[in-house]
Amino acid sequence: MTPREGNAQMKRLLAALAVVVLTAGACSQSSDGSTDSSSTQPPECDSAVAVIEVNTGKLCGIVATNAQNQQSHAYLGIPFAKPPVDDLRWKPPVALDSLPGDPFQATQLGDQCIQPSGELSGFAGSEDCLYLNVYRPSDSTKTDLPVMVWIPGGGFIVGQGGEPVMEGTALVNQDVVLVTMNYRLGSLGYLRYTDEQAGIGGNFGIQDQQLAMKWAKDNIGNFGGNPQQITLFGESAGAMSTGLHLFSVPESNDLFQAAIMESNIMSPPFNSAAKASEYGRDFVDLLCGAYSGSDPCPASGEWLRSLTTEQVAQSQNLTLPSGGLTGLLTLGMTLGMSWAPTVDVAPITGQPIEGYHPGNDPKPYAFGVNHNEGVFFLPAPSTMTPAQFDQAMTVTFGAKNLKKIKSYSEDGKELYNPSAYEPFPIAGMTSASQALGQLQTDYAVAAANMKAASKALPAMQAAGLPSFGYHFVKDSGFNFAGMLRCNPPSQNICHTTEMPYVFSNFLAKNAEGEFVPAQTVTDEERKLGDLMTQAWANFAKNPSQGLGYPKITEVTGSDYVVWDSPVSTGQLIPTQRYDFWQPILP
């Protein structure tokens, strides 16, 4: 069997194991795949909300009210770049010249960027998607406030800055200003194809984030924010992006002063230029086979930009796990991620797990891990067998390492061996999927973040700057992730489940995969939400004080904030476990 055939076989295995997950930012979709927000007239501006002048014109907004009856002033759907369509597709973003309208009615969310919908049978969003949102306190006399710039997650495939959990009213009632953003996703954000003089370099989504960050730096003072006091933060792919800007993107160095990374998937590493180019050639071959009608295919940049949005989006769906997106981490561990940032290609200079790269100055930062991160990313509807576990993990680690991994033991239990677990039907998990969930939590998130922190620690200490860590372990009574394996009886504290507490927006997914207000939120959960929302805002106000708890002096120490009821401190993972993973991590 050739390596290419082996890769194809593994892709078929993982595709067969993948499970459908509805994206957090699902929008209604028209027959051509575009969302419907642009087809309706935006709501009128609220006279109680000040008209703001930015460097591209004037805009007005609305009064936003959350479930706690708190209010804020919201400016939604602000374009920060020219639409990346036609000749601007697969090119770095270009700053907008002027806002349409005087003032521009910033009263509804802009379209999300193109992304898969449902069971990967279609797509949602628009290529015209580079919009951001600003929330500020309703007391417009407040000025010089700390600024928090949020990068949303979604595996670089899905997501948007307008997801319901990110509604910013509770956070800005802590006297900060919040900015959330969209950026290009999937093939439109990360295709690298330099053959045929196409000149498609990749990393467009990261450059979109940079331009939104620059917009915030240039304009946030007019919203009452302090442009010299910006904290960059995000979750999942948003945390991965934040880590890139913090450690590996020198051009972003002056655009923020501190960072928070929630559930940063630090391993496997980002693609090299060569690997990204390989994925790019495969994707262009797919487009050529489907749409060129000539031999040889005219695979130039001009021809690629002439394809319709639907042709690109539907072809991208064929490159993803056929059953859904939650298997992306396992796929990334085995074969790499097709659509993600590329290192050593502008503006990214290296792997963030290596710590600070030249041109990136140390900054106060915090990172954190949810107790069962890896469970969220399990491929398959809980049908993984021990043989399939062995096959997938052999590709990732090699047979020799896998034997060592499966025999690793704590308190008499082999944590990464399917034979150590019983089937867990209440969570819909097999013994093998439980072992994989534990492995993905420790290898891809906990130990990997600790390694990055240890690499960065000398530079932080030399600069006299602190770093902070947390462990989110709250067993919530509502199912924010919307998965059987993350439901309350499972007691799995899954990836994403800290977000309702950070933003104090308590939501759960219904049977249709839509976010609705959670019906079972306890006073204890709301109190923890108040504490976490306040802690995140306080970090932005004074990053040197962190989350209100001790700074990290050694990554295996007991100075991590443990977010639970009550809040405490402790280790992230045992020293023995971190030491085990250290030589295996990239």
Distance CA 455, CA 30 (A): 48
User: What is the radius of gyration, based on Cα positions, of the chain?
Assistant: 23
Is residue 52 in a domain? no
Query: Which amino acid is located at 466 in the chain?
Result: P
Query: Which amino acid is located at 59 in the chain?
Result: L
Is residue 198 in a domain? no
Distance CA 148, CA 523 (A): 27
Distance CA 517, CA 322 (A): 31
**pTM of the full structure:** 0.93
Range with lowest mean pLDDT among 1-5, 241-245, 363-367, 488-492: 1-5
pLDDT attached to residue 459: 97
Count of domains for the chain? 1
Distance CA 72, CA 172 (A): 7
pLDDT attached to residue 39: 52
Is residue 128 in a domain? no
Tell me the pLDDT tens digit for each residue of 234-285: 999 999 999 999 999 999 999 999 999 999 999 999 999 999 999 999 999 9
**Segment 561-572 mean pLDDT:** 97
Cα dist. 530→522, 523, 525, 582 in Å?
12, 10, 9, 36
Is residue 573 in a domain? yes
The range of the structural domain enclosing residue 394 comes to: 370-581
Query: In a 10 Å sphere around its CB, with 0-12 CB exposed, 13-18 middle and 19+ buried, how is residue 5 labelled?
Result: exposed
Q: What is the CATH number of the domain that holds 392?
A: 3.40.50.1820
Is residue 532 in a domain? yes
Distance CA 425, CA 216 (A): 47
Is residue 510 in a domain? yes
Averaged pLDDT of the chain = 91
Is residue 443 in a domain? yes
Long-range contacts of 557-560 (CB under 8 A, 24+ apart): 559/469, 560/368, 560/469, 560/470, 560/471
Tell me the pLDDT tens digit for each residue of 414-468: 999 999 999 999 999 999 999 999 999 999 999 999 999 999 999 999 999 999 9
Checking if the pLDDT of 74 tops 60, the result is yes
Cα dist. 382→211, 324, 333, 376, 434 in Å?
41, 14, 19, 12, 9
In DSSP terms, 370 is beta-bridged to: 472
pLDDT attached to residue 35: 42
Tell me the pLDDT tens digit for each residue of 347-367: 999 999 999 999 999 999 999
Q: Phi/psi of residue 418, each to 5°?
A: -55, -30
42 falls in which pLDDT band (50, 70, 90)?
confident
Checking if the pLDDT of 3 tops 70, the result is no
**Segment 311-332 mean pLDDT:** 80
Q: State yes or no: cis peptide before 566, omega within 30 of 0.
A: yes
pLDDT attached to residue 105: 97
Q: State yes or no: cis peptide before 268, omega within 30 of 0.
A: yes
Is residue 466 in a domain? yes
**Segment 89-95 mean pLDDT:** 98
